[in-house]
Amino acid sequence: VQTTYQTFTFYVCLAAFVCLSLTVAGIPLTVFTVVGGALAIGVGFGSQNIVNNFISGLILMVEKPLKIGDTVEINGILGTIAEIGTRATRIRTPESKVWIIPNSIFLEHPMQNWTNDDAIVRTEVTVGVAYGSNTELVKSLSLNILNKMDFVQQSPRPRVMFDDFGDNSLIFKLQF
């Protein structure tokens, strides 16, 4: 914060010094009208992205397609919403990395909100077993394991399905 104030103060003092120097030298500020106009156009184009993200942040806060604590996936980034700001949103990944994503990205790109309505997420795990294994035993053992886990909901019921013949194994999907 201190660095930000120092930088801001420096530019304000610099602008005041330039204006005062021009006045003392007898050069009217109207000479710089064209330069000021060009500078204003440049600032306008430069701030377009900032204004876009600011308005997108307001839309996100009003519409609430996501909220703090939601698990989302956007542009290949999976994580939990840590903060929704006016310019950007912070996402914390399972590896504890924090991504700062401009708010306009959430409105311009497809986003998957895994926990928008509730914290229950249906997921699946792929398991491979050796060829020749007893598939009914695989299914029975997998369901027993899933049913004994505290975090696995019983409604809808967990299920185990044969999925594919792999290179070295039979592939099953456990959905819970």
For the segment 35-53, what is each residue's pLDDT rounded down to a tens digit?
Answer: 888 888 988 888 899 899 9
Backbone angles phi, psi at 122, to 5 degrees: -85, 130
pLDDT at residue 115, as a whole number: 82
Mean pLDDT of 148-169: 91
Share of the chain above pLDDT 70, in %: 99
Q: Give the strand order in the sheet containing 159-165.
A: 124-130, 169-175, 159-165
What number of CA atoms fall less than 13 Å from residue 174's CA on the CB side?
A: 16
> Mean pLDDT across the chain, nearest whole number?
90
Whether 98 shows a pLDDT value over 70: the answer reads yes
pTM: 0.57
Token pair belonging to 87: 């310019």
Placement of tokens 């021009």 in the chain: 22
Mean pLDDT lowest among 21-30, 75-84, 100-109, 114-123: 114-123
Whether 31 shows a pLDDT value over 80: the answer reads no
Work out whether the CA dihedral 5, 99, 112, 94 comes out positive or negative.
negative
The larger pLDDT score, comparing residue 147 to residue 5, is at: 147
**Helices then strands (H, E): number in the chain?**
4, 8
pLDDT at residue 119, as a whole number: 67
